[in-house]
Structure 1
């Protein structure tokens, strides 16, 4: 779901503008030198978003790239018959907006109050050309996104409804663990039931039924409307991998 660099975190001198950035350990900035980070920050502009506000729409000219530093976003596209397909969610540290063509291929909308840094696409491209370390991170990011797209095809094409929901929760837990955020086995879900349904290729009613099923199996507990506690981590993994029975 999200790419998190695995290289060592670069030490920054006291007073560096990026020294206190809470998301630096999980961004493409992680392994960059202080000089590269300072130059990159100088290219960027901070933008705050309200819940429901769009970053860009499908078909808009691809003039900017973005790095999310706070909050969460959803990515979606509209099918020809008007139905919506949510293709992913973005969390702090994620990079977005890289487009092969001259237009964005999807719409991105804030799930909650969020904050991001944006960069002119042309200026960022020149910066990448001058800094191979950034280019390497973007290459790994692209490889990760390709693998994630392949996993999503398997999820939508082969897994049962219960397996899809278990996989979704497992992906969120993995992201949380790698980023060192969250509260153990607690998942706070900024997306609503319909967003989850449109991501998993299900109906909202089916998502609600599958939540009840996972709860009845003792895998999860609904601590609140949008807060899930995973009670049986191993059982959730088994179900996500298709070895936990039918749903």
Structure 2
């Protein structure tokens, strides 16, 4: 696998080519364009993969593809049809555990890259484990404004969900939202404020509290510095 060098100064670029020719640095290509002109499509992102002290790899991620190489630069398997674009390649993050690499990016569902043999790899979508009541043990991100809330019309079966702020979009159908530690699968979006969903667990009951006085909830006036 060729290395990538970027040097817009002609003299320095020529010197790099001489070093490559004499074997002082890794073989590769010298790109003389300004770094501002280099596009994501032009670059491959490399990560180290260590299975054990005798089996170490370099994984090369490019648009829609992963190529593996041994520490000696010998090809050791590849995968086509990967979901990442050139922009994703530069933005995605990963972590290795044993023979597995977990890859994440905001553009698609996390992927699990597994070394299945010395020169064989498998890529599949990450599946969350299930907890009590079938709840998926997966992280959630709040996509609506921080003060926004949702209110379901019931606890089981199909429920109507009303949001306090514009929160729903057509792309949320068959996605999950979390409510009070439970999950609701969105089955239909009516408008940005309303959707229909199916709770995956029995939702907790709502509680109405009547107060004789609001004194305990009084907020003191702010003091000036």
Asked if these proteins are the same fold (TM beyond 0.5), I'd say no
Normalised by the size of structure 2, how large is the TM-score?
A: 0.21
Structure ranking higher in strand proportion: 2
Structure ranking higher in helix proportion: 1
Higher relative contact order (CA 8 A, sep 6+): 1
Q: Which has the larger radius of gyration?
A: 2
Normalised by the size of structure 1, how large is the TM-score?
A: 0.20
